[in-house]
């Protein structure tokens, strides 16, 4: 357990976080399969791509844009957090090598 926590885990942490972020981004953008799995019940299991499509079909371009901007902001914040964490991990790794 000590080898894993002190050697292996710190080395693979940036890759794990990047993979998790990419999987989360893919899940956010998934449209077709999630609708069949989730059931698309209003106010229970709606997903953002479906809400955007619904707003566009109702010619509510402002509403669709608002949802998309919120999702874009969340994505940028998540990418920034991952990049900051990776930079911190790099700095820590360089300190340990000295």
Q: What is the pLDDT of residue 61?
A: 96
User: Any idea what the Cα angle at residue 17 is, between residues 13 and 30, rounded to 5°?
Assistant: 155
Residue 65: inside a domain: yes
Residue 89: inside a domain: yes
32 or 6, greater pLDDT = 6
> What is the number of residues in the chain?
98
CA–CA separation, 20 and 44 (whole Å) = 25
User: What's the predicted TM-score (pTM) here?
Assistant: 0.65
76 or 93, greater pLDDT = 76
Q: Based on the structure, what is the number of domains in the chain?
A: 1
Residue 17: inside a domain: no
State the average pLDDT for the chain.
Answer: 81
Residue 76: inside a domain: yes
Residue range of the domain that includes 32? 24-93
44 or 36, greater pLDDT = 44
Residue 4: inside a domain: no
Residue 87: inside a domain: yes
Residue 46: inside a domain: yes
Residue 45: inside a domain: yes
CA–CA separation, 72 and 70 (whole Å) = 5
């Amino acid at each position: 357990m000590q080898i894993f926590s002190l050697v292996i885990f710190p080395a693979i942490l940036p890759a794990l976080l990047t993979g998790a972020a990419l999987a989360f981004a893919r899940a956010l953008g998934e449209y077709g399969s999630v609708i069949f799995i989730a059931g698309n019940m209003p106010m229970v299991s709606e997903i953002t791509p479906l809400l955007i499509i619904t707003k566009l079909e109702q010619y509510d371009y402002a509403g669709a844009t608002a949802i998309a901007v919120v999702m874009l902001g969340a994505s940028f914040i998540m990418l920034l957090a991952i990049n900051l964490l990776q930079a911190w991990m790099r700095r820590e790794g360089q300190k340990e090598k000295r």
